[in-house]
């Protein structure tokens, strides 16, 4: 059989609430799917359920906008309280136009609206639509914790990828990208590798974690939480530690920021 990669949507993961243990929900779903984890498998998890489990929900009524937030709200047309959260989640604002704020997030990547999500986060109370969801505090740490918990209960050491959907410069449409990883590298370094004819490849580092994030995004869809976790088998990677930092181009080396 030719080399292949199999991506499987984990079935029937319930809507995640603050405090839920994702390892338990994932292991129960793997059992339903009759999938047994083995070395080299990777679990790819959407940011939304990690953030929810970690209680990163905030109600806009609790947010007091600063003067800077009022200015950003005016430029972008966004709720001043949301603008305040965007500023708190960001190192700096790169571009603003009506409906859109593009920032350098405190985690280091460039994304729209501070990575803050309003879909699929309806909550309780008087104004159930006032809830928004921030990204995990430390997605690499969240990935490592999930890896440790799964290893403790299955003895399988799997790679973990936490992903989100980002827009891009130059091209239309969002793609899945990695925002946290554990047990797998972000980049595959081919520099110095010879090609078919012995020509040395230059400047070739492949963003394997982002490629895998994009692959799993195909199965997850975007509209619902129906498929928040994808099990991956068949990706060959070095068993070394990785970090979101691997994937971030430093601002001073970026020709397009």
* Residue ranges in 129-158 that form contacts with its own copies under rule CB under 8 A: 129
Residue list 17-56, contact with its own copies (CB under 8 A): 33
90 touches its own copies by CB under 8 A: no
* Matching residue, tokens 């990208």: 177
176 touches its own copies by CB under 8 A: yes
Structure tokens at 199: 């020509």
Question: Least distance to its own copies from the beta carbon of 141, Å?
Answer: 20
72 touches its own copies by CB under 8 A: no
Nearest one of 176, 206, 174, 214 to 190, comparing CA atoms: 206
Contacts with its own copies: how many residues (CB under 8 A)? 79
Binding its own copies (rule: CB under 8 A), the pick from 59, 88, 118, 151 is 118
Look at the alpha carbons of 82, 86, 88, 89 in this order and tell me if their dihedral is positive or negative.
positive
Question: Least distance to its own copies from the beta carbon of 206, Å?
Answer: 6
> Of the listed pieces 17-25, 80-88, 132-140, 168-176, which binds its own copies according to CB under 8 A?
168-176
Torsion of CA 168, 9, 162, 53, to 10 degrees: 120
Structure tokens at 7: 């991506």
Phi, psi of 84 (to 5 degrees): -60, -45
- Is residue 219 within 8 A of residue 242, CB to CB? The reply is no
> Of the listed pieces 20-28, 61-69, 156-164, 169-177, which binds its own copies according to CB under 8 A?
169-177
Q: In what order do the strands lie in the sheet with 42-46?
A: 159-166, 42-46, 229-233
- Is residue 14 within 8 A of residue 49, CB to CB? The reply is no
> Of the listed pieces 49-57, 70-78, 132-140, 191-199, which binds its own copies according to CB under 8 A?
191-199
Question: Least distance to its own copies from the beta carbon of 18, Å?
Answer: 16
119 touches its own copies by CB under 8 A: yes
239 touches its own copies by CB under 8 A: no
């Amino acid at each position: 059989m030719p080399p292949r990669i199999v991506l499987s949507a984990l079935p029937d993961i319930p809507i995640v609430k603050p405090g839920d243990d994702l390892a338990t929900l994932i292991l129960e779903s793997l059992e339903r799917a009759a999938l047994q984890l083995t070395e080299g498998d990777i679990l790819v998890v959407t940011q939304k359920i990690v953030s929810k489990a970690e209680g990163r929900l905030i109600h806009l009524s609790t947010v007091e906008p600063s003067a800077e937030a009022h200015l950003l709200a005016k430029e972008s047309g966004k709720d001043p309280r949301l603008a305040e959260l965007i500023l708190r989640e960001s190192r700096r604002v790169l571009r603003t136009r009506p409906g859109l704020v593009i920032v350098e997030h405190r985690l280091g990547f460039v994304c729209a609206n501070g990575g803050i999500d309003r879909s699929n986060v309806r909550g309780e109370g008087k104004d159930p639509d006032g809830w928004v969801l921030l990204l995990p505090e430390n997605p690499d740490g969240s990935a490592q914790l999930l890896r440790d918990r799964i290893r403790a209960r299955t003895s399988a050491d799997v790679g973990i990828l936490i992903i989100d959907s980002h827009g891009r410069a130059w091209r239309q449409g969002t793609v899945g990208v990695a925002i946290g990883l554990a047990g797998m590298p972000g980049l595959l370094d081919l520099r110095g590798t010879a090609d078919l004819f012995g020509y040395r490849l230059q400047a070739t580092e492949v963003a394997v974690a982002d490629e895998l994030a994009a692959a799993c995004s195909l199965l997850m869809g975007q509209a619902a939480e129906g498929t928040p976790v994808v099990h991956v088998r068949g990706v060959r990677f070095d068993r070394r530690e990785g970090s979101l930092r691997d994937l971030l181009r430093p601002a001073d080396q970026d020709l397009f920021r």
